[in-house]
Amino acid sequence: MAFTNEQLERYSRHIILKEIGVKGQKKLMAGKVLIIGAGGLGAPAAMYLAAAGVGTIGIADADEVDLSNLQRQIIHATADVGKAKVKSAKETMEALNPDVTVNTYRTFVDSSNILDLIKDYDFIIDGTDNFPAKFLINDACVMAGKPFSHAGIIRFKGQLMTYVPRQGPCYRCVFKEPPPKDAVPTCKQAGVVGAMGGVIGSLQAMEAVKYLTGAGELLTGHLLTFDALKMEWHKIKLPANTHGCAVCGDHPTITSLIDYEQTECDGAL
Amino acid sequence: MAEFKIDDRVDITDVVCPTTFVKAKVALEELDDGQILEIKLNDGEPVQNVPRSIKEEGHKILKLLDNGDGTYLLIVQKVGD
């Protein structure tokens, strides 16, 4: 695969980097990333990955663009209100970079479809806003042996971690099960600063780029938290021992996917 | 040019910074360790910056020849895979 002069120019800032270079850019162009949720996290992640030239990007979301989404979901524009989020996202990504193939899945991800959705992808980005989806994505990625980036944002706070099979704990190692319904406020009730999606969603795109190119060290075995009000980051080392985990441990007790009950705010944040 | 056995040639006079270096880097990447690339480049910014960038990547600059027409030929030996 030879680069055209236009591609050399488009990807020049990547190719110049020692850690990416020609080989890394080719890996990005051959890479396949699935983004679940075209919302606050998924929007910047999808745009950066499209801009980076990731060859195939899947995007799954059942919702339509709502006016209240636009404060943070920067992949959608005012004229897109009412349009399927996956369609709006695809249009933005293709306008950004026609090199990229965008696959859209206009569906809620659940136990019946997630394994089929993730099977053709190299890396998964969890851009959802609710615990049932987060546990489902974790369990499915563990079972299918797929690496993924977990993230969550609320108010002025965000967190993320990366799971790679056999290279550290999974989301369920850290958070055993979803909190009781209504114990944790949803985005609708609590609010979130739009730029938080940009901060954390961009880091998820960064993890995907690093995973595909092999550059640097991934956020495996660590939880990174960000408090924007205090401008404080914490990189918390997670226990290396995953033997007792109900899904990725030595003797898993969770061997099939679970659809936990959804709270009312089930769109992507 | 008999003193070097040129394995490949690339013309970067049709692009501007930073694509100049990028195009040279892509051409170098296609070569094996020890092979020699001839790069045709413009006077001015390219001839000032491209050899330095290539050196920083660890490759060996063998020669820079002035063509006398505002272009140069840079002879580079690839170091590493």
In terms of pLDDT, which residue wins out, A8 or A151?
A151
- CA–CA separation, A140 and A156 (whole Å): 29
CA atoms within 13 A on the CB side of A10: 17
CATH of A31-237, one of 3.20.20.110, 3.30.420.40, 3.40.50.720, 3.40.50.300: 3.40.50.720
State the pLDDT at residue B2.
Answer: 60
Cβ neighbour number for residue B68 with a 10 Å cutoff: 7
Domain that holds residue B32: 8-77
Q: Phi and psi dihedrals of A220, rounded to 5?
A: -90, 145
ipTM of the predicted structure? 0.74
Peptide bond into A185 cis (omega under 30): no
State the pLDDT at residue A268.
Answer: 43
State the pLDDT at residue A266.
Answer: 43
Q: What is the mean pLDDT of chain A?
A: 94
Outline where chain A has alpha helix (H). 5-10, 12-15, 21-30, 42-52, 85-96, 114-118, 131-144, 171-174, 187-190, 194-213
Contact A139, A163 (CB under 8 A): no
State the pLDDT at residue B62.
Answer: 97
- pLDDT reading at A36 higher than 70: yes
Cα separation values, B12 from A8, B27, B33, Å: 12, 10, 22
Q: Is A17 on the interface with B (CB under 8 A)?
A: no
Is B3 part of a structural domain of the chain?
no
Residues of chain A with Cβ-Cβ distance to B18 below 8 Å are 12-13, 16
How many angstroms separate the CA of residue B22 from the nearest CA in chain A?
6
- pLDDT reading at A29 higher than 60: yes
* CATH value at residue B19: 3.30.110.40
Q: Is B63 on the interface with A (CB under 8 A)?
A: no
Cβ of B22 within 8 Å of Cβ of A21? The answer is no
Q: Which residues contact A149 (CB under 8 A, 6 or more apart)?
A: A123, A124, A125, A126, A160, A161, A162, A163, A204, A207, A208, A219
Nearest to A22 among B14, B15, B26 (CB): B26
Instruction: Give the pLDDT band of residue A32 (cuts 50, 70, 90).
Output: very high
Cβ neighbour number for residue A9 with a 10 Å cutoff: 17
- pLDDT reading at A211 higher than 70: yes
Nearest to B19 among A9, A21, A22 (CB): A9
The residues with which A163 forms a beta bridge, in sequence order, are: A148
Is B45 part of a structural domain of the chain?
yes
Amino acid making up residue A129: D
- pLDDT reading at A165 higher than 80: yes
| pTM (predicted TM-score) | 0.90
Q: Which residues contact B56 (CB under 8 A, 6 or more apart)?
A: none
Is B2 part of a structural domain of the chain?
no
Q: Looking at residues B58-76, what average pLDDT do you find?
A: 96
Amino acid making up residue A95: A
Q: Compute the count of residue pairs across chains A and B with CB atoms less than 8 Å apart.
A: 33
Burial class (CB in 10 A: 0-12, 13-18, 19+), A253: exposed
Is B32 part of a structural domain of the chain?
yes
Domain ranges, ordered by start, for chain A: 31-237
- Going by the DSSP 8-state scheme, the letter that residue A140 receives in this structure is H
Is B15 part of a structural domain of the chain?
yes
- pLDDT reading at A2 higher than 90: no
CA A105 to chain centre: 15
- pLDDT reading at A190 higher than 90: no
- CA–CA separation, B51 and B9 (whole Å): 15
Is B12 part of a structural domain of the chain?
yes
Q: Phi and psi dihedrals of B67, rounded to 5?
A: -80, -10
Q: How many domains are there within chain B?
A: 1
State the pLDDT at residue A18.
Answer: 87
Cβ of B26 within 8 Å of Cβ of A12? The answer is no
Amino acid making up residue A157: K
Stretch 38-57 of chain B: residues touching chain A, C-beta under 8 Å? 53, 57
Is B61 part of a structural domain of the chain?
yes
Q: Which residues contact A242 (CB under 8 A, 6 or more apart)?
A: A168, A169, A170, A173, A248, A249
